[in-house]
C-alpha cells in the first residue's frame, strides 16, 4: 500500500478530486490483479490438498506402509496371488528409466540444434530450425503415441529382439517430445552470451570447436542443465504417448525391449476401472502424489541450477 | 592441424544432428499428412462419428475442440492478464513475490494427468459439474494460467521505461498508465504468446479424459440456447475433443475405418497446430504495425 | 481448508455466471431467460438421464439413447451417455452423480457395502474368445493349456502343438472387467502379471498388437473378431453366438446398468426401452452383444449357472 501514498506527491494536492478518482481506480486495479494472483495460490493449495488427501489414505486408511509402497517390487492390487500387494517400485523405475534415457537421447541433439542456430549458421539456421522446434512442441502427445505405435514399435520389433514395445520405444517417443524444451532453453542461453567472450577466444587463435567446447559450453552449462531438467520433468509426467508404446507390465524389465510400466501409464490404465475409495484406487492417487512430489524436486533442481548460473 | 580437423568433424556432427531433427519433423508431419490427407473432405469434417459403420466424421469433435479453446480463453485471459500485471507492476521484491514465482513455476510443471485427476475429484465429482466442457475448461485454465502470467509479465516488462515515465509526468494514475499506456504496447507479444499457448488446448488429452469426458451428446446445430442440453454452446454438456477422439478410436474403435479416421483426425489436428503457429506470427506482426503506426499518427 | 473451499466455490460460481452471460449473447432472438424451456411440466415424462461408465457398453447405450430421444413420447427426456470405465460408473451411481452406472462386472465385485443399494439391470451378454497371431499354428486350446500359457508354465507354441515360437501374452490390466471375466470363466483361476507380458486396456490396441506381433495371444470380445487375428476354439467349442446362448461356450458376462434404489420415472422409461425388443433384437445384436432374453442359461454374481 506504500506506492499509493507516494502518488499524491506527484499528482499535486491541489487537484484533490482527481486524486480521489485516481485512488479509486488504482485501488480497483490493484485489488483485481491481487485477486488473480491469490487465485493462483488457491489453485495450487487445493491441488496439493486434494491429491494429498486422496493419496495419503493408502497409508493411513488402507494401512500400507510407505516403504512397502515405494520399495516393494510386487504390484498385485486385486489380490490375484492372495492378499493385495501395492509395490510401485517397478513403475518408479520405469518412469526414471524412460525419462533419463529420453534426456540422454534428446540432450546432445538439442545442444547441437541450438549451436547450429547460434554459432554455426546464425542467419538461416535459426530461420530453418526455430519453426521446426516450435512445431515439434506443438504436435499433440496422442499423435506422438499413434505414430510411435504404428511406426516405431514395428521397426524396433524387426530390428531388435523382443516385441518392440518397452522402455526403448517409450524413451524414443519422449525424446522427440522433450527436444523442443531443451533446445529453446539452450538457445536462449547461447544467444544471451556476451559477444566479447567468443571474440576474445577467436582472437587467441582458437578454432570454432575449441571456442564452443572450452569457452561457450562451460559457460552455459548450468542453463543447459536447467533445460534438461525441465525436459525430464515433462517426460516424467507425460502419460498417453508413453502408455501406448511401453507395454504396461508391472515389472522391472530385463531389457529395454521388454514390456514395462511408468507411474503415469498405470494411472491412465487403471483409474477408470477402479472405484473411487477402494484401496486400488487410493494406490493410484498415491502414485499421482508421487508424481507431484517429483515435480517439486524438479522445480527445486531448476532453482538450484539457476542460482549457480547467477553467480 | 589436429585442431582444424577436430573443428571440421565437430561442425559436421552439429550440422548433421541439426538436420536430423529437421528430418524427424519432416518425416513425422509427412507420415501423418500422407496417411491422413486422403481421408479429409468436407463431410469428414462436418459429419458426426459412426459407432460401427464406416464413413463417420469428426464434426462435433472439431467443434468441441474449438469451443473448448474459446471457453478456456474466456477464463484464462482475464485471470492471466491480472496476475501478470500484478507481477510486472505491483509486486515488490520480497518473500511473497518469490513465493508466487515459485507457485507459477510449480503449476507450469505439474504433469497434466495430475491436474486432470484433481479436476475430476474437485470439479467433476465434489462440485458436481460432471464431465463437461466447463470442467475441461477449468482444468485447461490451470495449465495455461502460468504460461499466460509469464507472457504478460514479460510483455509488460519489455515496454520501454520512458513510456511509463511519460505517463507519470502527465499525472495519470498507475492503473490508467497500465491500461492505456503500457497495455497497447505489450499487446502484440501477449497476443502472439496466447495464440501459441492455445495450441496446447488442442493437443491436450490426458487431463480431458477425466474432466470433459469421452462422449459427445447429440448436438443440434440449430439450437443456440446455451442452457439446452443439445445445444452445441451449452458449456455444461460433456464433450470429446479431437485429441481425445483420436485416443478413443485408436483404443476402442469398432468402425471398420477406425484406422483411417484416426489418421485423418491426426492430420486435421496437426494442420490446426500449424495454422495456429502461422496465425500467431501473422497477428503479432499486424498488431505491432497497427499499434506503432497509430502512435505516430497520434 | 475450511476457509479456502468457500472461496473456491465463489470463484467457480463467478466464472459460471460469466460464462452464462457470455453464452447468452449468442442466442439469436428470444429472451435470454428461455433456458427454462425444457423444464415444462406436462403429462409427458421429462427430465434428464445421465449414464456413466463402461467404455465397452458405451456405444450400445449411446445408440439406444439416440433412438429413445427421437421418439415423440420421450422427446422431453435428455439422455446423456459418458464413458470413464466401469469403476467410474459405479462410483458415480453410488455417489449419486449419475442416474445409471454402466458396468462390465457385477457391482459386488467392485464395491463392498454400497452395492446393496444398487439395482442391477442386465442389458446384454458379452462373450469373448482367445485370439492369437495368425502365425502360431494352433486353432484349439484346452482350459489346461490356456492356464499353462497365462501362468507362464508354457512359453513356446510348440508345447501346445503349434510352431516353434515363443509365446507373447497380451493381457488386460488387473482392474479390467474383461480380464476378470476371462480369468473366471476361461481359466477358472486368477493369474499374476507375468514378466514381459503386455497389458493393454482397450480392445482396439489388443487387437492391433496381437495381429502384428508374432506369437502373440490375447482375448477379445466377439464384436472385435475378424480375419486379422486367429480365433482359437476353447476346449473344442467355437466362440459363436449359438454356443454362448446354449451355454456350451462359457466365457461370457453380463453388461449391467445399475441404478441406486428404484429409478426415477424417466430413468425407468429409458431402462425399459433398453430391455425392449426394439433394442434387444436390433442394436444389441448389431453391436455384437447377445440379448439377455435369448440366453438359455443364467448366472449370478458368484458365477453359479442355472438353466
pLDDT band at B71 (very low <50, low <70, confident <90, very high): very high
**Whether the predicted pLDDT of C157 surpasses 80:** yes
Q: By the CB < 8 Å criterion, does A262 face chain C?
A: no
Q: By the CB < 8 Å criterion, does B80 face chain A?
A: yes
Considering only CB atoms, A37 lies closest to which of B100, B113, B168, namely B100
Which residues of chain A make contact with B245, given a CB cutoff of 8 A? none
Q: Do B273 and A210 touch (CB under 8 A)?
A: no
A and C: number of Cβ contacts within 8 A? 116
Q: Do B7 and A210 touch (CB under 8 A)?
A: yes
Domains and CATH numbers, chain C: 46-125+253-306 (3.40.190.10), 126-246 (3.40.190.10)
Residue B298 pLDDT: 37
- In contact, C290 and C284? CB cutoff 8 Å: yes
Q: What is the mean predicted confidence (pLDDT) over A6-31?
A: 66
3-state secondary structure of A75: strand
**Whether the predicted pLDDT of C131 surpasses 90:** yes
**Cα angle, residue C148 at apex, residues C144 and C154 outer, rounded to 5°:** 135
Give the pLDDT confidence of B256-282 residue by residue, as tens digits.
788 888 889 999 988 888 888 888 888
Give the pLDDT confidence of A250-289 residue by residue, as tens digits.
989 988 888 899 999 999 888 888 888 888 999 999 999 9
Instruction: Report residue A142 as a C-alpha cell.
Output: 496422442
Q: Do B225 and C81 touch (CB under 8 A)?
A: no
- In contact, C138 and C160? CB cutoff 8 Å: yes
**Whether the predicted pLDDT of B297 surpasses 60:** no
What residues does C252 pair with on adjacent strands? C127
Q: Do B138 and C15 touch (CB under 8 A)?
A: yes
ipTM of this predicted structure: 0.87
Secondary structure of chain C as H, E, C letters: CCCHHHHHHHHHHHHHHHHHHHHHCCCCCCCCCHHHHHHCCCCCCCEEEEEEECCCCHHHHHHHHHHHHHCHHHCCEEEEEEEECHHHHHHHHHHCCCCEEEECCCHHHHCCCHHHHEEEEEEEEEEEEEEECCCCCCCEECHHHHHHHHCCCCCEHHHHCCCCCECEEEECCCCCHHHHHHHHHHHCCCCCCCCCCEECCCHHHHHHHHHHCCCEEEEEEHHHCCCCCEECEECCECCCHHHHHHCCCCCEEEEEEEEECCCCHHHHHHHHHHHCHHHHHHHHHHCCCECHHHCCCEECCCCCEEC
Question: What single-letter DSSP state applies at residue B232?
Answer: T
Residue A294 pLDDT: 93
**Whether the predicted pLDDT of B254 surpasses 80:** no
- Dihedral (CA of C16, B79, A46, A277) sign: positive
Question: What single-letter DSSP state applies at residue A87?
Answer: -
Considering only CB atoms, B122 lies closest to which of A50, A143, A176, namely A50
- The pTM score is 0.86
Secondary structure of B61-124 as H, E, C letters: HHHHHHHHHHHHHHHHHHHHHHHHHHHHHHCCCCHHHHHHHHHHHHHHHCCHHHHHHHHHHHHH
- Chosen for mutation from B16, B114, B127 (greatest number of chain A CBs closer than 10 Å) is B114
Q: What is the mean predicted confidence (pLDDT) over A98-110?
A: 95
Nearest-CA distance from A236 to chain B in Å? 8
- Cα B223 to Cα B71, B216, C32, C45: the distances in Å are 18, 16, 13, 21
- Measured distance between the N- and C-terminal CA atoms of chain B, rounded to whole angstroms: 62
Nearest-CA distance from C109 to chain B in Å? 22
Residue C39 pLDDT: 41
Q: By the CB < 8 Å criterion, does A50 face chain C?
A: no
Nearest-CA distance from C24 to chain B in Å? 6
Considering only CB atoms, B51 lies closest to which of C35, C48, C63, namely C63
Give the pLDDT confidence of C59-102 residue by residue, as tens digits.
889 888 888 888 888 888 888 888 778 888 888 888 888 899 99
Nearest-CA distance from C36 to chain B in Å? 8
Q: By the CB < 8 Å criterion, does C46 face chain B?
A: no
Residue B214 pLDDT: 77
3-state secondary structure of A151: helix
- In contact, B150 and B104? CB cutoff 8 Å: yes
Q: Do B215 and C81 touch (CB under 8 A)?
A: yes
Residue A284 pLDDT: 94
Q: Which of residues 181-210 of B touch A (CB under 8 A)?
A: 196, 199, 202-206, 209-210
A238: left (phi over 0), alpha (psi -120 to 50) or beta: beta
Q: Do C15 and B235 touch (CB under 8 A)?
A: no
pLDDT band at C217 (very low <50, low <70, confident <90, very high): very high
- Chosen for mutation from C10, C12, C19, C178 (greatest number of chain B CBs closer than 10 Å) is C19
Q: Which residues contact B98 (CB under 8 A, 6 or more apart)?
A: none
- In contact, A132 and A172? CB cutoff 8 Å: no
Amino acid at each position: 500500500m506504500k506506492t499509493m501514498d507516494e502518488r499524491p506527491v506527484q499528482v499535486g494536492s491541489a487537484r484533490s478530486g482527481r486524486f480521489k478518482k485516481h485512488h479509486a481506480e488504482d485501488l480497483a486495479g490493484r485489488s483485481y490483479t491481487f485477486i488473480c494472483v491469490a487465485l493462483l495460490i488457491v489453485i495450487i493449495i487445493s491441488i496439493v490438498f486434494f491429491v494429498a488427501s486422496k493419496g495419503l489414505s493408502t497409508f493411513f486408511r488402507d494401512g500400507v506402509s510407505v516403504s512397502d509402497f515405494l520399495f516393494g517390487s510386487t504390484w498385485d492390487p486385486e489380490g490375484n496371488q492372495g492378499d493385495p500387494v501395492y509395490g510401485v517400485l517397478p513403475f518408479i523405475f520405469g518412469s526414471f528409466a524412460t525419462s533419463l534415457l529420453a534426456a540422454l537421447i534428446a540432450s546432445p541433439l538439442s545442444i547441437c540444434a541450438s549451436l547450429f542456430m547460434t554459432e554455426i549458421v546464425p542467419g538461416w539456421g535459426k530461420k530453418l530450425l526455430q519453426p521446426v522446434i516450435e512445431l515439434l512442441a506443438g504436435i499433440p502427445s496422442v499423435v506422438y503415441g499413434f505414430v510411435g505405435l504404428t511406426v516405431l514399435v514395428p521397426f524396433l520389433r524387426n530390428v531388435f529382439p523382443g516385441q518392440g514395445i518397452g522402455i526403448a520405444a517409450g524413451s524414443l517417443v519422449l525424446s522427440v517430445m522433450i527436444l523442443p524444451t531443451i533446445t529453446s532453453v539452450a538457445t536462449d542461453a547461447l544467444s544471451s552470451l556476451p559477444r566479447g567472450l567468443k571474440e576474445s577466444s577467436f582472437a587467441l587463435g582458437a578454432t570454432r570447436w575449441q571456442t564452443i567446447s572450452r569457452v561457450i559450453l562451460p559457460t552455459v552449462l548450468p542453463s543447459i542443465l536447467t533445460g534438461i531438467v525441465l525436459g525430464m520433468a515433462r517426460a516424467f509426467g507425460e502419460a498417453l504417448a508413453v502408455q501406448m508404446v511401453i507395454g504396461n507390465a508391472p515389472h522391472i524389465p530385463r531389457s529395454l525391449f521388454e514390456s514395462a510400466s511408468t507411474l503415469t501409464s498405470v494411472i491412465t490404465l487403471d483409474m477408470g476401472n477402479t472405484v473411487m475409495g477402494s484401496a486400488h484406487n487410493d494406490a493410484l492417487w498415491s502414485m499421482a502424489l508421487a508424481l507431484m512430489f517429483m515435480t517439486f524436486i524438479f522445480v527445486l533442481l531448476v532453482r538450484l541450477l539457476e542460482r549457480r548460473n547467477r553467480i | 592441424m589436429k585442431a582444424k580437423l577436430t573443428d571440421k568433424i565437430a561442425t559436421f556432427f552439429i550440422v548433421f544432428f541439426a538436420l536430423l531433427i529437421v528430418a524427424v519433423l519432416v518425416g513425422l508431419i509427412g507420415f501423418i499428412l500422407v496417411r491422413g490427407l486422403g481421408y479429409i473432405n468436407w463431410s469428414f469434417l462436418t459429419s458426426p462419428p459412426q459407432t460401427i459403420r464406416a464413413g463417420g466424421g469428426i464434426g462435433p469433435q472439431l467443434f468441441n475442440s474449438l469451443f473448448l479453446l474459446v471457453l478456456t480463453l474466456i477464463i484464462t485471459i482475464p485471470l492471466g492478464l491480472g496476475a501478470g500485471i500484478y507481477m510486472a507492476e505491483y509486486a515488490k521484491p520480497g518473500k511473497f513475490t518469490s513465493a508466487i514465482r515459485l507457485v507459477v513455476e510449480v503449476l507450469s510443471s505439474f504433469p497434466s494427468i495430475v491436474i486432470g485427476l484433481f479436476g475430476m475429484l474437485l470439479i467433476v465429482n465434489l462440485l458436481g459439474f460432471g464431465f463437461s466442457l466447463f470442467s475441461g475448461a477449468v482444468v485447461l485454465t490451470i495449465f495455461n494460467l502460468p504460461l499466460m502470467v509469464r507472457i504478460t509479465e514479460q510483455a509488460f516488462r519489455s515496454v520501454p521505461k520512458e513510456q511509463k515515465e511519460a505517463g507519470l509526468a502527465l499525472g495519470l494514475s498507475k492503473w490508467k498508465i497500465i491500461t492505456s499506456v503500457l497495455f497497447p504496447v505489450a499487446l502484440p507479444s501477449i497476443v502472439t504468446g496466447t495464440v501459441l499457448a492455445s495450441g496446447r488446448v488442442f493437443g491436450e488429452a490426458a487431463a480431458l479424459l477425466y474432466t470433459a469426458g469421452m462422449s459427445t451428446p447429440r448436438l443440434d446445430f440449430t439450437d443456440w440456447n446455451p442452457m439446452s442440453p443439445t445445444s452445441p454452446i451449452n458449456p455444461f454438456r460433456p464433450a470429446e475433443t479431437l485429441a481425445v477422439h483420436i485416443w478413443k478410436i485408436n483404443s476402442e474403435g469398432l468402425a471398420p475405418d477406425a484406422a483411417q479416421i484416426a489418421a485423418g483426425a491426426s492430420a486435421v489436428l496437426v494442420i490446426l497446430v500449424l495454422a495456429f503457429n502461422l496465425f500467431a506470427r501473422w497477428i503479432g506482426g499486424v498488431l505491432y504495425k497497427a499499434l506503432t503506426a497509430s502512435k505516430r499518427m497520434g | 481448508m475450511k476457509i479456502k473451499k468457500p472461496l473456491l466455490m465463489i470463484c467457480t460460481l463467478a466464472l459460471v455466471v460469466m460464462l452464462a452471460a457470455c453464452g447468452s449473447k449468442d442466442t439469436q432472438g428470444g429472451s435470454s431467460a428461455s433456458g427454462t424451456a425444457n423444464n415444462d411440466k406436462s403429462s409427458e415424462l421429462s427430465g434428464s438421464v445421465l449414464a456413466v461408465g463402461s467404455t465397452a457398453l458405451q456405444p450400445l447405450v449411446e445408440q439406444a439413447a439416440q433412438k429413445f430421444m427421437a421418439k415423440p413420447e420421450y422427446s422431453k427426456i435428455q439422455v446423456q451417455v459418458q464413458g470413464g470405465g466401469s469403476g467410474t460408473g459405479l462410483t458415480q451411481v453410488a455417489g449419486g452423480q449419475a442416474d445409471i452406472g454402466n458396468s462390465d462386472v457385477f457391482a459386488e465385485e467392485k464395491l463392498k457395502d454400497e452395492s446393496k443399494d444398487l439395482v442391477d439391470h442386465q442389458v446384454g451378454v458379452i462373450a469373448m474368445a482367445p485370439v492369437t497371431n495368425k502365425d502360431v499354428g494352433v486353432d484349439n486350446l484346452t482350459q489346461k493349456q490356456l492356464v499353462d500359457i497365462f501362468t507362464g508354465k508354457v512359453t513356446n507354441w510348440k508345447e501346445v502343438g503349434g510352431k516353434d515360437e515363443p509365446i507373447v501374452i497380451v493381457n488386460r490390466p488387473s482392474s479390467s472387467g474383461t480380464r476378470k471375466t476371462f480369468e473366471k470363466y476361461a481359466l477358472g483361476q486368477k493369474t499374476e502379471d507375468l514378466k514381459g507380458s503386455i497389458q493393454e486396456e482397450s480392445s482396439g490396441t489388443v487387437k492391433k498388437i496381437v495381429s502384428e506381433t508374432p506369437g502373440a495371444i490375447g482375448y477379445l470380445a466377439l464384436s472385435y473378431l475378424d480375419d486379422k487375428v486367429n480365433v482359437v476354439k476353447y476346449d473344442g467349442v467355437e466362440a459363436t453366438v449359438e454356443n454362448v446362448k446354449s451355454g456350451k461356450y462359457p466365457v461370457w458376462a453380463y453388461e449391467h446398468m445399475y441404478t441406486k434404489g428404484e429409478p426415477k420415472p424417466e430413468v425407468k422409461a429409458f431402462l425399459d426401452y433398453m430391455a425392449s425388443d426394439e433394442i434387444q433384437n436390433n442394436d444389441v445384436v448389431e453391436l455384437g452383444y447377445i440379448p439377455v432374453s435369448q440366453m438359455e442359461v443364467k448366472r449370478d454374481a458368484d458365477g453359479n449357472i442355472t438353466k
